[in-house]
Amino acid sequence: MTRPTYRLADIAARFGGSVMGDAETKITQIATLDTARAGEIAFLANAKYRKQLERSQASAVILSAADADATTLPRIVAANPYSYFAKLSAFLNPLQGYAAGVHPTAVIAQSARIAPDAHIAAFVTVGEGATIGAGSVVMAGCIIGEGVEIGANTRLYPRVVVYQNCVIGSHVILHSGVVIGSDGFGIAMEEGRWLKIPQIGRAVIGDHVEIGANTTVDRGALADTVIEEGAKLDNQIQVAHNVRIGAHTAIAGCVGIAGSANIGRYCRIGGGAIILGHLQVADQVEVSSGTIITKSIREKGTYTGTFPFDDNHAWRKNAAQLRHLDDMSDRIKRLEQEIETLKEKSQ
């Protein structure tokens, strides 16, 4: 398949920025500084990669004003090269289009409402009373429960499961294996046995949310679990019942969020972090990878709680000493007091 070609002048006219060098340079694809070849445009978002820029075979490059003189290649000077790259890459690599219609193997309940221009692939099941909005794509093997609402231009990759009565907004992307609205982990002990607590809330996903493969979002126990607009979740994340994730928050893979935690807007949660239940996390908080959040965070900023790895023998020694820090602190205070007493007596 022949790819469309765009001049640097065309790209700058569409996305902004200023062209330095030959504005007639033709571009068909985007690539890294190391791998780019003729017809491809690369980007420099960090000055530490200038060495790669010097040897790059790209036809052109996107960079900031601070790096504009670091190369003689044709270039687009942009305020934010990384976001410029993201927009240009999306333009050069649009999502695959799908023809409107329902595959003959799909099982569609009689009361379900599907927009005429939606695409329903093979072996999809859509329950009673469910609605699927205009331009949405539901790929093979997805299961849409009773009463589910899916907005416009939303895309469900193969084998997504959305339980009954959950709400998915518009322009949402759910990758393969995502489960929305499974029961939260609600149990109560009585006479030596666990009793299941019915989970009667919903999971509500806002517009422009993206959720990675095999991530699970539990439904609420009583109120709803909510992921607000523009949030981005990586693969294999657990979102427990009654959690709220604020707008435009980004969460990396393998994060675990316990029940009723409330995460603010514009937060960034590193991979493998754990947020305990019923905690509040303020807006614009960054949590470093592997950190365990055990108490609420009231102010924006970066929070880190990792314990450095070491060889096993040294780690065990340090961990043993760490367990006795409180006792050691008390002993040091007593010694300091004794030293002060001795000083006073010697004067």
The angle at the Cα of 42, spanning 41 to 47, to the nearest 5 degrees, equals 150
* 108 closest CA partner among 143, 149, 84, 81: 143
Given 208, 241, 278, 313, which residue is catalytic? 241
What is the rounded CA–CA span in Å between residue 286 and residue 268?
Answer: 5
Q: Phi and psi (nearest 5°) for 6?
A: -130, 140
* 184 closest CA partner among 211, 163, 159, 209: 163
What is the rounded CA–CA span in Å between residue 293 and residue 299?
Answer: 14
The angle at the Cα of 116, spanning 209 to 90, to the nearest 5 degrees, equals 40
241 is catalytic: yes
What is the rounded CA–CA span in Å between residue 98 and residue 121?
Answer: 9
Q: Phi and psi (nearest 5°) for 341?
A: -65, -45
The angle at the Cα of 62, spanning 60 to 64, to the nearest 5 degrees, equals 140
Q: Which residues are part of the catalytic machinery?
A: 241
